[in-house]
Amino acid sequence: MSNLANSIKIYHPEKITSVLAPGILAVTLYFYTQGFDPFNTPKQIILLVLAAWLAGFVVEKFLKTRFNYRKIESQILVISGFFLLSLCLGLVFSENFLRGFIGETQRRNGFLTYLSLVIVMLYVAISCSMKNVIGIIKLAVATGLIMSTYGLAQINGKDFVRWDNPYNSMISTTGNPNFASALIAIFILLSLLSALSGVIKGKFVFLNYVVVVVGFFVIIKSNSRQGLLVVFFGVLSFLLIWLILESNSWVRKFRVLIVFALSTLSLIVVAGMLNHGPAGALLYKQSVSVRGYYWRAAIEMFQQLPLVGVGLDNYGDYFKQYRELNYSLTHGFEITSTNAHNLFLQFFATGGIFLGFSYLVLVSYVLVIGIKSAKKSLGRDRLLVLTLLAAWLGFQAQSIISIDNIAISIWGWVLSGLILSISIEKQSTKAQVKNGNKQKINHISLFPTITSILILIPALVVSSALLRAEVSALKIRYLMSTSNQTTPNLLEDESEKLFNGLFVDQNYKFEAANALVSKGSIEEGLNEIKKLNVSNPRNLDILRWLASYYNAINDLVRAKEYRLKIAQYDPWNLENYLELGVLEKQLGDTGSVKFYKEKILRLAPMHEVAVRARERL
């Protein structure tokens, strides 16, 4: 038994990167082209398996740590526990429990993802030494080089994958130019600041500067300002905190002036993003004003359901109910959003006061610990902490204007863990000096391995189910684009896998049922769509489909029922009111026809839908 225990090196602090580093690398870079969602679900699966394996050590470490709130480990446990309990509360009260559990389609920011991210952060925080921190920064540089190089190939039309991509070609390994530019920007910050500050030395520094140059080039070519803004606010944060903490005489002399200048510059940049001031023409994008609609809708959701929110990652089911009329008139009645594009507002809207507040506490705690650690450090150690803080603040900056993406998120949570780990190490060193440098001998035990295996089993079951659903959903889309004698049978086989599978995205089931109807299996497909409507009555795509279906078979009463439900969940959809008016006209209810016509003309008298309302009603 002792030989077996000694052979398990994965949990020894010196071997921390042997699983963590490959895991982070895989989450960031891996994509799976044989699945319906090639980016988010594969990354979620890898993250889930990684966190399950690391969980054993996290459990053992905290069981062995005697609770003392003066210890950073205990504080982290309490704050992280508060966040996780809030996540559980949000999940329990989610109307769409499955979506809350696995996350929105092609987002995957549900309970599983955040549980996994917290575990990774805790593992990094309690296990990393200063040596490990340097190693993970080098890993970030190497990852940034790979991502930037791949982005460069995409820009030049040399991508080895033929993506069905509506965006700029520079999506790297994230699937979206905004996500790619923001993540590469974080790598630029770590590369640039660690090289200039001397945190990274030797021949490896050359790679740092390569990442900076190539990274900047692909960010500019991506036409995404997010990356540039992340770099700007990261460097600005580094300089401001360094100036405030630095005791050098010339710095003290000009500190107030420099801080004022940098603060003024940041205000000009923020104002420019909002289309105000001299930088407006350079920095403003139309998407910023659109985000205002998303943010206000999230605030409205929170105000209506302040305790538990609308359900984890369920923003999309409620957006049209809480969006403003101007959004519908400007961007279209069917255009929607499945995320608040602000992580803090997303948590408040979908998880309520407890989840939003607990995340604010967690972020604030990491910031305070980081600044305290930088203040207590000197020389190269201080520059190391400031480098981590700058990259971490860059991550926080993008999370204020963007959607949480797993490839980016894992770095944000790993950086949180690294910042906390430095403070833990300093506290442990101080305690050792106080106790006469008596160090405890690390004993390798089987407990964490057994615990991890027990946690890994259900994680693999969920992961396998998610992967099977991705493969079947893609096959169904392929079968819809082809037609031969075997297509109907193959379509039914793949559809059955989705209908009977565990943890299957409901949108995948809907697409499969819709495919069955299109290929002639009308009764089977219709029954499945009705089941989906019962399990998720707010899904507007399903409601529109059912309304159109019953209208097509001339069952006007049922078509009207579904149109009324659409009006309940999408009150600013004037196209739906027009269809209701047409239905009422066919049913002979002239009073209702007049009501819907006047409603459309009152809300949007100059809109194109008003013209059609005058003609048809």
Q: What is the CATH number of the domain that holds 578?
A: 1.25.40.10
pLDDT at 307: 95
Please state, in angstroms and rounded to a whole number, the distance separating the CA atoms of residues 207 and 204. Answer: 6
Closest CA to 52 of 439, 458, 323: 458
Give the count of beta carbons closer than 10 Å to the beta carbon of residue 497: 18
User: Quick check: is 584 in a domain?
Assistant: yes
DSSP string over 365-418: HHHHHHHHHHHH--HHHHHHHHHHHHHHHHHHHHHHHS---HHHHHHHHHHHHH
Instruction: Label residue 202 by pLDDT band (50, 70, 90).
Output: confident
Q: Is the pLDDT of residue 344 over 60?
A: yes
The H or E element that residue 223 is part of is none
- Bin 370: left if φ > 0, else alpha if -120 < ψ < 50, else beta: alpha
The whole domain housing 529 covers 469-616
Least confident range of 407-416, 447-456, 475-484: 475-484
Please state, in angstroms and rounded to a whole number, the distance separating the CA atoms of residues 400 and 416. Answer: 17
Q: Would you state the structure tokens that stand for residue 323, as one six-digit string?
A: 């969006």
Domains in the chain, number: 1
pLDDT at 286: 59
Closest CA to 474 of 517, 510, 525, 512: 512
Task: Give the pLDDT mean for 291-314.
Answer: 95
pLDDT at 436: 55
pLDDT at 265: 66
Q: Is the pLDDT of residue 206 over 60?
A: yes
Residue with tokens 């396998």: 464
pLDDT at 203: 83
User: Quick check: is 589 in a domain?
Assistant: yes
Task: Give the pLDDT mean for 370-380.
Answer: 91
User: Quick check: is 43 in a domain?
Assistant: no
Closest CA to 115 of 568, 392, 462, 532: 462
* Whole-number Cα distances in Å, 429 to 15, 95, 424, 433: 20, 48, 9, 6
Task: Give the pLDDT mean for 15-32.
Answer: 88
Q: Would you state the structure tokens that stand for residue 373, as one six-digit string?
A: 């650690």
Least confident range of 101-105, 201-205, 560-564, 606-610: 201-205
Helix (H, G, I), strand (E, B) or coil at 2: helix
pLDDT at 261: 66
Task: Give the pLDDT mean for 534-553.
Answer: 96
pLDDT tens-digit profile of 62-97? 787 766 667 888 899 999 999 999 999 999 999 999
pLDDT at 65: 72
pLDDT > 70: percent of the chain? 86
Task: Give the pLDDT mean for 428-438.
Answer: 55
pLDDT tens-digit profile of 138-148? 999 999 999 99
pLDDT at 397: 92
DSSP string over 491-543: HHHHHHHHHH-SS--HHHHHHHHHHHHHTT-HHHHHHHHHHHHHH-TT-HHHH
Task: Give the pLDDT mean for 558-586.
Answer: 96
Greatest mean pLDDT range, 223-227, 364-368, 515-519: 364-368
Q: Would you state the structure tokens that stand for residue 353, as one six-digit string?
A: 């006061």
Task: Give the pLDDT mean for 433-454.
Answer: 67
**Residue 435: Cβ-neighbour burial (10 angstroms; 0-12, 13-18, 19+):** exposed
Task: Give the pLDDT mean for 357-363.
Answer: 97
Instruction: Label residue 15 by pLDDT band (50, 70, 90).
Output: low
pLDDT at 9: 39
Residues constituting the chain: 617
User: Quick check: is 118 in a domain?
Assistant: no
Give the count of beta carbons closer than 10 Å to the beta carbon of residue 247: 7
Q: Is the pLDDT of residue 281 over 90?
A: no
Choice between 607 and 261, residue whose per-residue pLDDT is larger: 607
pLDDT at 13: 40
Helix (H, G, I), strand (E, B) or coil at 558: helix
Q: What is the mean pLDDT of the chain?
A: 88
Q: Is the pLDDT of residue 185 over 90?
A: yes
Choice between 564 and 426, residue whose per-residue pLDDT is larger: 564
The H or E element that residue 593 is part of is helix 590-603
User: Quick check: is 489 in a domain?
Assistant: yes
Instruction: Label residue 182 by pLDDT band (50, 70, 90).
Output: very high
Contacts (Cβ under 8 Å, ≥6 apart) of 316: 104, 336, 337, 338, 339
Q: Would you state the structure tokens that stand for residue 300, as one six-digit string?
A: 């409205």
The H or E element that residue 90 is part of is helix 72-92
Task: Give the pLDDT mean for 284-309.
Answer: 87
User: Quick check: is 503 in a domain?
Assistant: yes
- Bin 108: left if φ > 0, else alpha if -120 < ψ < 50, else beta: left
Please state, in angstroms and rounded to a whole number, the distance separating the CA atoms of residues 92 and 75. Answer: 26
pLDDT tens-digit profile of 329-343? 999 999 999 999 999
User: Quick check: is 402 in a domain?
Assistant: no
Task: Give the pLDDT mean for 405-418.
Answer: 97
Tell whether the torsion through CA atoms of 580, 585, 587 and 588 is positive or negative.
positive
Choice between 172 and 204, residue whose per-residue pLDDT is larger: 172
Q: Do 333 and 576 touch, CB atoms closer than 8 A?
A: yes
Please state, in angstroms and rounded to a whole number, the distance separating the CA atoms of residues 269 and 274. Answer: 9
User: Quick check: is 107 in a domain?
Assistant: no
Please state, in angstroms and rounded to a whole number, the distance separating the CA atoms of residues 118 and 299. Answer: 25
pLDDT at 441: 44
pLDDT at 284: 53
Cβ-defined contacts of 159-163 (< 8 Å, 24+): 161/33
Q: Is the pLDDT of residue 254 over 80?
A: no
